[in-house]
Chains A and B, each alone.
Chain A
Amino acid sequence: MTHLDAVPLWVALPAALLLVLGSGLTLLGAFGLARLQSFYDRLHAPTLGTSWGTAGIVLASVLLFSWLEGRPVLQELLIGVFVMLTTPVTLMLLGRASLHRDRAEGSAAVPPAGNARPADRGTAGADGARGAATPPAWP
């Protein structure tokens, strides 16, 4: 821990604040995931950790290690980019699966499939095609 003693206050203070912000948001997200009642509400809580929760910790790391090594250390930003790009895939998958299940069970709490289209036939097939149409189009 001796090399951390050399860190001046103007680096240590913002780094510590960012670290507390990031880990605090992640903790709140985990807390929300455990506490919230419906599945769809719970979808929102972990995104605290994957957005500014990650960003805060990553920025703190960039700041501290850039100062310690005397050069810009930026590879941590890649963590943030990849977390940002990959979480939507999982969340959409979970959300759509839950929606499909609730509709199959005839739950009144979720909106019906399609938009003012009475025929429900072939929804699963169309869903698969639609799901494939959006995410892999990322360059």
Chain B
Amino acid sequence: MSRLVPHPLLSALLLLMWLALTRVSLGQLVLGALVALVAGWAMARLRPARPRLRRASAIPRLLGLVAWDILRSNAAVAWLILTDGRHGRRRSGFLRVPLRLRDPSALAVLAIIVTATPGTAWLEYDAETGVLLLHVFDLVDESQWRDLIQTRYESLLMEIFE
């Protein structure tokens, strides 16, 4: 965390991305390093809460779980659109889920998961009470959806971040 490279991981990833998008040459390396450094300084100015990873080894498990769940819900929502919501019997609705998760980075990841999954939309999070308001496309069983968020994602995210 030196002053020159305040966010080493971010800068390294940006440099890698730069090289992947252009070609690997000395000129591009210098240019990419410059961009990565400036982005690191800009990020330091924003003073974000630095995410702490407690157990990074659980990240591949989370990624696999999310990719599979998103594929499944893609199929489910595609089917619902095709069949006109089980011929008009589909019921969508709002759902409140109390969360124990408090880490801002973990909440950001959860927001991405919930939004990227077709069938659930993140609407509002109350930081005081820790209650999340979702909109669910096919709300058959409320407790099942609550369970999905709390035991499938929240506990894994708490394991990684808190």
Interface residues of A, Cβ cutoff 8 Å to B: 24-25, 28-29, 31-32, 35-36, 38, 40-41, 43-45, 47-48, 50-53, 74-75, 78, 84-85, 87-88, 91-92, 95-96, 99, 110-111, 114-115, 127, 129-130, 133-139
Contacts and interface: CB of A to CB of B under 8 A. Distances in A.
A17 to B, nearest CB: 14
Contacts of A92: 111, 115, 122-123
Given A137-B48, A139-B105, 4 more contacts: A40-B92, A51-B74, A51-B116, A52-B74
Interface string B97-122: 00000001101110110111111111
A102 B114 CA distance: 22
Contacts of B121: 40, 43-44, 47, 91, 95
B4 interface: no
Interface residues of B, number: 46
Interface in B64-92: 70-71, 74, 77-78, 81-82, 92
Interface stretch (B28-36, B54-62, B128-136, B149-157): B128-136
B118 A99 contact: no
B131 A110 contact: no
B147 interface: no
A41 B122 contact: no
Main SS at interface, chain A: helix
18 contacts: A25-B78, A36-B81, A38-B92, A40-B94, A40-B121, A40-B135, A45-B118, A48-B118, A50-B116, A84-B116, A88-B111, A88-B114, A88-B116, A91-B121, A92-B111, A129-B127, A135-B108, A139-B9
Interface of B: 7, 9-10, 17, 20-21, 46, 48-49, 51, 70-71, 74, 77-78, 81-82, 92, 94, 96, 104-105, 107-109, 111-112, 114-127, 129, 131, 133, 135, 137
Contacts of A45: 77, 81, 118
A62 to B, nearest CB: 12
Contact of B20 (A41, A74, A85): A74
Contacts of A115: 96, 126, 129, 131
